[in-house]
Amino acid sequence: MAYIFHQDQLPRLVSVVPGRERTFFVNKELTHIDDMLCGIMRYTKGAASPYHLHANCEHFYFIFEGAGTVETEDGVQPVGPGSMIFIPAEDKHRLRAIEPLFYFEFQAPNRFQTTILDGTPEDLLWERIDGGVWKQS
CATH code: domain 13-135 is 2.60.120.10
60: which residues sit within 8 A by CB, 6+ positions away?
84, 85, 86, 87, 105, 106
Write the CA distances from 31 to 1, 25, 36, 49, 82, integer angstroms. 11, 8, 10, 26, 28
Cα 99 off chain centre by: 17
Each domain of the chain, given as residue ranges in start order, spans: 13-135
pTM (2 d.p.) = 0.89
| Tens digits of residue pLDDT in 102-132 | 999 999 998 888 999 999 889 989 888 875 5
E strands in 37-92: 37-43, 51-55, 58-65, 68-72, 75-79, 84-87
78 vs 30, residue with greater confidence:
78
**Would you call 108 helix, strand, or coil by DSSP?**
strand
The runs of H, that is alpha helices, within the chain are 28-31
71: which residues sit within 8 A by CB, 6+ positions away?
51, 93, 94, 95, 96
pLDDT of 134 above 60? no
**Number of neighbouring beta carbons within 10 Å of residue 112:** 21
For the residues 85-105, what does the mean pLDDT come to?
Answer: 97
Say how far apart CA 80 and CA 99 lie, in whole Å.
9
| Tens digits of residue pLDDT in 17-61 | 999 999 988 888 888 888 999 999 999 999 999 999 999 999 999
pLDDT at 94: 97
Write the CA distances from 83 to 68, 103, 119, integer angstroms. 10, 10, 25
